[in-house]
Amino acid sequence: MDNKRKYVIPGDVVTTGPYRPEQNVILEGNKIISTTIGISEIYDDSVKVISLTGKYLPQINDLVIGKVISHSSLSWELDINSCYVGFLPAQDVFGRDFSAHADELTSRLKSGDLVAARIANSDRTRDPLITIADRDLGKIDSGDLVEISPSKVPRLIGKKGSMIQTIENATEATITIGQNGWVVVTCESHEGLLKAKKAIQMVNEQAHVANLTDQVKEMLESKGES
């Protein structure tokens, strides 16, 4: 792309000068220092580092896959593969007229269930609030869960969704990617399911390889013939 990209580790000076520090960088004097292992990018007025490692931090509006851990009489707690647990209030599922005596929470979601949800609010002073009141959100009834590193989610999606479209088209599978690194794959045929899972694992392991979309395509096609 341009020669402004470089590999950095914590403490490396990305650049000096009047730039706005964005993700994963701090301003120390007039130096902009990377705080993580990653690839630095310098734009016209800002600098950021794309992290190659680390846990998922909830961000408002992210689509995540959660697993129900437990519930109280008013809410569920979901494991969202982060350092915080997701908080799903019962009103969100039952609607406004939810009553703690009349409605039994386990009738809708039991512990162990997978849920596609959106982060409604996250300010780190409290556990992130999540919601399933939207199209395509809610309990996931079927499919296989694949866990990948959250830092590789953008690679799995690809530029304008190219990678995920390649996999979906070749296997006829439906893939739901949570920003937290959990991916649910559903497919009519058993073979397509296995192939899609293998492709996702391949992206996870070889995220740094250039031209990965072509390689994945090749893998998917070669398997189809055999």
Give the binding site for another protein (CB under 8 A).
1, 5, 7, 9-13, 24, 26, 28, 33, 35-37, 39, 51-55, 57, 83-84, 124-125, 151, 208-210
Neighbouring CB atoms inside 10 A of 64's CB total 26
Smallest separation (angstroms) from another protein to the CB of 37: 5
CB of 74 to another protein, least distance (A): 21
Q: Quick one: 102 or 210, whose CB is closer to another protein?
A: 210
Closer residue to another protein, CB minimum distance, 125 or 142: 125
Of residues 66 and 192, the one with the C-beta less far from another protein: 66
Looking at the DSSP bridge assignments, the partners of residue 121 are 129
- Helices 162-171 and 212-225 cross at an angle (nearest 10°) of 0
Q: Quote the least distance from Cβ 201 to another protein, whole Å.
A: 15
The single-letter code of the amino acid at 97 is D
SS3 156: helix
d(CA 71, CA 35): 37
Shortest CB 121 distance to another protein, Å = 15
| Burial of residue 44, with CB atoms counted within 10 A of its CB: 0-12 exposed, 13-18 middle, 19 or more buried | exposed
| Least distance between another protein and beta carbon 175 (Å) | 25
Comparing CB distances to another protein, the nearer of 74 and 209 is 209
Give min distance, CB of 53 to another protein, in A. 4
157 vs 207 by CB, closer to another protein: 207
Cα–Cα distance, 157 to 163 (Å, whole number): 5
Q: How many CB atoms lie within 10 A of CB 54?
A: 13
DSSP assignment, residue 105?
A: G
Nearer to another protein, 188 or 205 (CB): 205
Which residue in 161, 92, 160, 155 sits closest to 120, CA to CA? 92
